[in-house]
């Protein structure tokens, strides 16, 4: 009988004291989380030093260099040896001082933390000194004695090679553009609050500052200088106060945006006792007010400055002092919410719209007598006459020669849209220079990929071609110079929509559905359409399970879908809004079920770039100008609309004989309502192809190299050869 060996009893691990350098580096990583954290600490130190001018210089997002200069009172020579030691400060001396603290800093940890994760150099001069001193620090101590040097009033602190000894942290901060954007945002917030201080922030080597504000008595002027005129002109002054010791004591003043301000995200600048902080509860409360009061302007701009008794604020609750705790916070938030709601309701009586005047350009310029005289050539010889077979129609707005002008002899009522054609084209022209750029690097990479794979010859065809007409349900006929091309409308529109999603990323207008559509029902419809055996009910439970899972997934992603793609899904799982990719164009709503199923099954949600790419592809496929679901009523498709006889469709497509015995003609017995619906759908599609798709393609589409070989463009004829053939006839 074998005896199993007894399990080895593991000793509990021993607790030991960490070395001081390890402790300091761990603490430093918590205080200085990113370059913007270091900038915030240094700027607050400058403000505590009574500075009137603060300038920030940044290189590689702050990883290579951060330089903060001010004109404050400077640092005493005798304080330099302990300046960067942990817990050395001039702001307080005992714990009770926190009850009445008014300065930005108080812990004495920021400068010490910077020396543990970067190389710090301080240059300073105090009033009355003939020269300043420069000294370098590392791991909290001076590397050498302070050296006398020339200096201007105040202090300059330089941090180089931030996180040089924290490899993992440095790798996660490689995108310098994102960090510099955060630093610019930080300085912008300080600039509109401390209006008696001049701020500047620029990249190393740049000639112009990205933030440049001067001291001004008007806060509105400061906001205009930093955030622009469009923000400043749409703000409302707001004030509130309460002096009831039993509930709350505070004073608040600021500015909030009105109904004319529209943005993709909320901007909230909050100062409490002159300290830049965040308050999630207050931000959410104000967003709720905007959603309920101004749904179209539900992403507001808010600046608030709140003053409370120092003993009512606990500033020591966050490592980076980003958050504070307030006495009676719920009461204060509720009162401010009520004040903002009251101001918004009183201001929501009118709304201003900015109008852009577009000069109408005639599609065919008028010809005067002077135009008939040809200009002589530089050599003085007679101008050569262009051969007939070389003449090319170049005015894409000239309808002469278009195929449908001859195919449809009697214009239908639903085609009477020519009056709005100028409006459509003006709208397209206004979108030519879409200035907004994506904030995310993944979107920029996808756009750069489109630009790098653009086929130059196809681009010239797209930009310079003339629309002739539809050759069949899928291909349109284009003329470019003296050549005719068949162009696959579905492929072209799918690619255009895909590119539009990326270029308009997070800048969409919305299509509001007349009634919210339940996602689960839409997905069930799509699954049943995919099932070839319509009579079978065996897989209904499986389909229901798939629909439930996809609905839950899309509800979880609803916030991202709304913010970036203007796809609104409410908490009950109903789809109520879709984005506008091209002005004056609405996708085929019969394809919504297929689109929703595609969102659930085909989108790669895990990785950002792949997620956005697959979402853009799904939208591109949904918005593409596919043939309508109903067969084309012209030609053989007309047979589909023949009335059923004895419960069956007439299957003999060649049977068009007339039976006159009962005085009726069988060929006229159609489902006229369905036929009219089909005619409208197909005519509307051709109108959209001619007046929306091709004008938009000329402006926006960059055809990829793959279109040169996948049959999207097919050259079918040369007009020169055709002319010669016709000439011989």
Identify which of 176, 227, 179, 184 has the alpha carbon closest to the alpha carbon of residue 209.
Answer: 184
Q: pLDDT-derived band of residue 119, with 50, 70 and 90 as boundaries? A: very high
Q: pLDDT-derived band of residue 728, with 50, 70 and 90 as boundaries? A: low
Position with higher pLDDT, 53 vs 387: 53
* The domain made up of 233-345 is a member of CATH 3.30.230.10: yes
Beta strands 211-213 and 198-203, pairing class: antiparallel
Q: Of the given ranges (277-281, 456-460, 661-665), which has the lowest mean pLDDT?
A: 661-665
Domain 233-345 and domain 453-507+580-587+625-640+676-728, same fold? Reply is no
Instruction: Give the model confidence (pLDDT) of 573-597 as tens digits.
Output: 999 999 999 887 889 988 999 999 9
Position with higher pLDDT, 324 vs 54: 54
Q: pLDDT-derived band of residue 387, with 50, 70 and 90 as boundaries? A: low
Instruction: Give the model confidence (pLDDT) of 198-248 as tens digits.
Output: 999 999 988 888 999 999 989 999 999 999 988 999 999 999 988 887 778
Instruction: Give the model confidence (pLDDT) of 356-382 as tens digits.
Output: 444 444 433 433 434 433 334 443 444
> Are residues 106 and 317 in contact, defined by beta-carbon separation less than 8 angstroms?
no
Instruction: Give the model confidence (pLDDT) of 480-530 as tens digits.
Output: 888 899 999 999 999 999 999 998 888 888 888 888 999 999 999 888 887
685-714 mean pLDDT? 91
Task: State yes or no: pLDDT of 87 exceeds 90.
Answer: no
Distance from chain centroid for Cα 334: 32
Instruction: Give the model confidence (pLDDT) of 292-348 as tens digits.
Output: 888 777 789 999 999 988 888 877 666 656 777 788 888 888 899 999 988 988 875
pLDDT of residue 11: 80
611-627 mean pLDDT? 93
The C-alpha atoms of residue 226 and residue 208 are separated, in whole angstroms, by 14
pLDDT of residue 3: 59
Whole-Å CA distances, 652 to 202, 658, 661, 670: 78, 14, 20, 15
* Partners of 59 in the β-ladder: 65
Instruction: Give the model confidence (pLDDT) of 545-567 as tens digits.
Output: 889 999 999 999 999 999 899 99
648-666 mean pLDDT? 42
Instruction: Give the model confidence (pLDDT) of 705-727 as tens digits.
Output: 999 999 999 988 877 666 555 55
pLDDT of residue 449: 92
Q: Of the given ranges (123-132, 138-147, 398-407), which has the lowest mean pLDDT?
A: 398-407
Extract the tokens encoding 176. 């310098």
pLDDT of residue 244: 81
Position with higher pLDDT, 505 vs 436: 505
Proportion of the chain in helix, strand, coil states, percent, rounded to 5: 40, 20, 40
The C-alpha atoms of residue 659 and residue 718 are separated, in whole angstroms, by 48
pLDDT of residue 514: 84
> Are residues 255 and 236 in contact, defined by beta-carbon separation less than 8 angstroms?
yes
Token pair 């049943």 is at which residue? 528
Assigned architecture for domain 18-211: 2-Layer Sandwich (3.30)
Rg (the chain; Cα; Å): 35
Exposed/middle/buried for residue 10 (C-beta within 10 Å: 0-12, 13-18, 19+): exposed
Extract the tokens encoding 89. 């400060």
Reported as type and span, the H/E element at residue 456 is helix 456-464
Question: Which homologous superfamily does the CATH classification assign to the domain defined by 453-507+580-587+625-640+676-728?
Answer: MutL, C-terminal domain, dimerisation subdomain (3.30.1540.20)
Instruction: Give the model confidence (pLDDT) of 134-180 as tens digits.
Output: 999 998 889 999 999 988 889 999 999 988 888 878 878 777 678 89
Q: Of the given ranges (39-53, 318-332, 596-610), which has the lowest mean pLDDT?
A: 318-332
Identify which of 58, 81, 88 has the alpha carbon closest to the alpha carbon of residue 136.
Answer: 81
Residue-range domain boundaries for the chain: 18-211, 233-345, 453-507+580-587+625-640+676-728, 508-530+540-579+592-604
Beta strands 466-470 and 325-326, pairing class: unpaired
Extract the tokens encoding 661. 């015995």
pLDDT of residue 165: 83
Reported as type and span, the H/E element at residue 548 is helix 540-556
Reported as type and span, the H/E element at residue 621 is helix 608-623
Identify which of 55, 36, 52, 49 has the alpha carbon closest to the alpha carbon of residue 79.
Answer: 49
pLDDT of residue 93: 56
The C-alpha atoms of residue 345 and residue 560 are separated, in whole angstroms, by 29
pLDDT of residue 377: 40
pLDDT of residue 388: 47
Distance from chain centroid for Cα 541: 39
Give percent of the chain with pLDDT exceeding 70.
Answer: 76
The C-alpha atoms of residue 310 and residue 483 are separated, in whole angstroms, by 79
Q: Of the given ranges (61-70, 89-98, 101-110, 645-654), which has the lowest mean pLDDT?
A: 645-654
CB burial readout 561-580, b (16+ within 10 A) else e = beebbbbbbeeebbbbbbbb
| Adjacency order of strands within the sheet including 301-307 | 235-244, 248-257, 301-307, 267-272, 275-277
- Considering the chain, what is the average pLDDT of its residues? 79
The C-alpha atoms of residue 690 and residue 425 are separated, in whole angstroms, by 11
Exposed/middle/buried for residue 641 (C-beta within 10 Å: 0-12, 13-18, 19+): buried
pLDDT of residue 136: 94
pLDDT of residue 96: 58
pLDDT of residue 625: 94
> Are residues 628 and 678 in contact, defined by beta-carbon separation less than 8 angstroms?
yes
Task: State yes or no: pLDDT of 291 exceeds 80.
Answer: yes
């Amino acid at each position: 009988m074998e005896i199993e060996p007894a399990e080895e009893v593991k000793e509990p691990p021993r607790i030991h004291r960490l070395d001081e350098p390890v402790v300091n580096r761990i603490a430093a990583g918590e205080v200085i989380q990113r370059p913007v954290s270091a900038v915030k600490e240094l700027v607050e130190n400058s403000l505590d030093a009574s500075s009137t001018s603060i300038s920030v210089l940044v290189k590689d997002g702050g990883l290579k260099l951060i330089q903060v200069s001010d004109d404050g009172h400077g640092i005493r020579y005798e304080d330099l040896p302990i300046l960067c030691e942990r817990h050395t400060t001039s702001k307080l001396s005992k714990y009770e001082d926190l009850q009445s603290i008014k300065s930005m800093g108080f812990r004495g940890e920021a400068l010490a933390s910077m020396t543990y994760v970067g190389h710090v150099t301080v240059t300073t001069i105090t009033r009355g000194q003939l020269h300043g001193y420069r000294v370098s620090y590392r791991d909290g101590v001076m590397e050498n004695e302070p050296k006398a040097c020339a200096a201007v009033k105040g202090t300059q602190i330089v941090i180089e090679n931030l996180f040089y000894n924290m490899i993992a942290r440095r790798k996660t901060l490689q995108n310098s553009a994102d960090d510099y954007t955060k630093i610019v945002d930080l300085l912008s917030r300080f600039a509109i609050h401390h209006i008696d201080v001049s701020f500047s922030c620029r990249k190393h080597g740049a000639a112009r500052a990205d933030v440049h504000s001067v001291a001004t008595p008007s806060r509105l002027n400061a906001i205009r200088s930093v955030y622009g005129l469009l923000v400043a002109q749409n703000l409302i002054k707001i004030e509130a106060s309460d002096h009831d010791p039993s509930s709350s004591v505070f004073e608040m003043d600021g500015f909030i945006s009105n109904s004319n301000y529209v943005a993709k995200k909320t901007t909230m600048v909050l100062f409490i006792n002159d300290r830049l902080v965040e308050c999630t509860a207050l931000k959410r409360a104000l967003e709720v007010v905007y959603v309920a009061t101004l749904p179209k302007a539900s992403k507001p701009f808010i600046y608030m400055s709140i003053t409370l008794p120092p003993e009512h604020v606990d500033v020591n609750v966050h490592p980076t002092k980003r958050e504070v705790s307030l006495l009676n916070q719920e009461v204060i938030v509720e009162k401010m919410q009520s004040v903002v709601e009251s101001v918004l309701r009183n201001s929501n009586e009118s709304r201003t719209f900015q109008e852009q005047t577009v000069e109408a350009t005639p599609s065919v310029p008028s010809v005067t007598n002077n135009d008939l005289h040809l200009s002589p050539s530089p050599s003085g010889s007679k101008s050569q006459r262009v051969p007939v077979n070389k003449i090319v129609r170049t005015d894409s707005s000239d309808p002469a020669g278009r195929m449908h002008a001859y195919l449809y002899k009697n214009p239908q009522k639903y085609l009477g849209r020519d009056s709005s054609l100028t409006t459509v084209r003006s709208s397209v022209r206004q979108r030519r220079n879409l200035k907004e750029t994506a904030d995310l690097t993944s979107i920029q990479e996808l756009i750069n990929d489109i630009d790098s794979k653009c086929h130059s010859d196809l681009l010239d065809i797209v930009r310079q071609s003339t629309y002739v007409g539809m050759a069949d349900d899928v291909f349109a006929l284009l003329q470019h110079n003296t050549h005719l091309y068949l162009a696959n409308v579905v492929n072209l529109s799918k690619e255009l929509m895909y590119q539009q999603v990326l270029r308009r990323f997070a800048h969409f207008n919305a299509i509001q559905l007349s009634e919210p559509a339940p996602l689960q029902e839409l997905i069930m419809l799509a699954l049943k359409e995919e099932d070839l055996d319509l009579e079978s009910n065996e897989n209904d439970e499986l389909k229901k399970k798939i629909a439930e899972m996809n609905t839950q997934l899309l509800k979880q992603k609803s916030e991202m879908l709304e913010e970036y793609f203007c796809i609104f899904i409410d908490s009950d799982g109903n789809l109520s809004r879709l984005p506008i990719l091209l002005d004056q164009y609405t996708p085929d709503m019969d394809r919504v079920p297929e689109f929703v199923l595609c969102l659930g099954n085909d989108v790669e949600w895990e990785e950002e770039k792949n997620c956005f790419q697959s979402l853009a592809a799904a939208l591109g496929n949904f918005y593409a100008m596919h043939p309508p679901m109903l067969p084309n009523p012209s030609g053989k498709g007309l047979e589909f609309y023949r009335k059923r006889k004895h419960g069956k469709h007439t299957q003999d497509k060649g049977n068009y004989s007339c039976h006159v015995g009962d005085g009726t003609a069988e060929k006229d017995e159609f489902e006229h309502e369905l036929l009219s619906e089909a005619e409208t759908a197909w005519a509307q599609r051709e109108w959209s192809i001619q007046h929306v798709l091709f004008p938009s393609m000329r402006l926006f589409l960059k055809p990829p190299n793959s279109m040169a070989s996948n049959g999207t463009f097919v050259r079918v004829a040369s007009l020169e050869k055709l002319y010669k053939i016709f000439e011989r006839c």
